[in-house]
Chain A
Amino acid sequence: MSGGNVDWDKLAQFLLHFSPWILVKFLFWLGFATYFIFALVVLTQIFAMTKTIKSSLNVFIRIFGFLHLIFAGLLLLFMLGVL
């Protein structure tokens, strides 16, 4: 059965090659990638905030921001391997 220029039978056969979990996996990867971007935004925001209010605490907050970004990156790589 075909409609227009799309061969639906071929498309269905192509999609059947994949496990139904692939979509779930893709969504999870997307989730971890989004968290990595969030960590980047947090780091830039920490820099903006610590420029506005300067205190001796800022060093620790910046280190935390960097460690958090590294953690998010490593987790993303780990999950790309595990999932």
Chain B
Amino acid sequence: MVEIYRAGEQLPPKKPSRRQQKKVAQEMTNRNWRQLHSLLKKKSGPLATAFIAYPRGVNFESQGDDEKIILLVRRHWITNLRWLFLALILALAPLLLFNSPLLTSFPPRLRLGALMLWYLLVLAFVIQQGLDWLFNVGIVTNQRVVDIDFFNLIHKRISDAEIRKIQDVTVNINGTLRTLFNYGSVFIQTASERPEISFENIPKPALVARVLEVLQGRQRQ
């Protein structure tokens, strides 16, 4: 059917071709990526912190040659306060118990031994918790998300999923502390072998979800 338009009448907007649509989407993604890139750089901290963007000199066991780490996240520092507080109480406990009948009945040398053993236990607890925080990391690269979990000193689990296999990303921030300090969990549903990868109690979870979203957009192109 032929449509006739009179002189001066405005023509209906031309439907963009698939190629143009693709180009616009690509430009938008690139623009989003540039914005995100500068935001990430601004929010990033040094190597021993919980949120590091483009960490220098960091790589992991199964990293590919052309794979670049975009984000490295750990549990928010505030989650360490609980065990630090417990360690402080345990460290101060002998001061309170020093005059207890149980300890005063010990010969002086054995009392020293008991004290040393107690502090060794506290030290072991602190070392284990510290290493647990330092090495339980979530990594987002330009190709995959990797979750490295150390459950205790002799049990580790590494799971990963390709960005293109991500189906859904859920951000969960609940509770006063989490809202106040902006930390929470990111659950990543995947179509890979492990159906869900989670980064728990990480700082800026919404930003991490945004990074994943933009990366997915780039992967689709």
Residues of A participating in the B interface, judged by any CB pair closer than 8 Å: 21, 24-25, 28, 31-32, 35, 38, 41-42, 45-46, 48-49, 51-57, 61, 68, 72, 75, 79, 82-83
Contact = CB atoms under 8 A, between A and B. Distances in A.
B110 A56 contact: no
A68 B126 CA distance: 13
Given A42-B127, A57-B47, A82-B109, A52 B156 contact: yes
B59 A54 contact: yes
Interface residues of B, number: 32
A79 B113 CA distance: 7
Interface of B: 47-48, 55-61, 106-107, 109-110, 112-114, 116-117, 120, 124, 127-128, 131, 134-135, 137, 148, 150, 153-154, 156, 158
Given A79-B116, A82-B109, A83-B109, A51 B61 contact: yes
B110 A53 contact: no
B154 A55 contact: no
Contacts of A28: 110, 113-114, 117
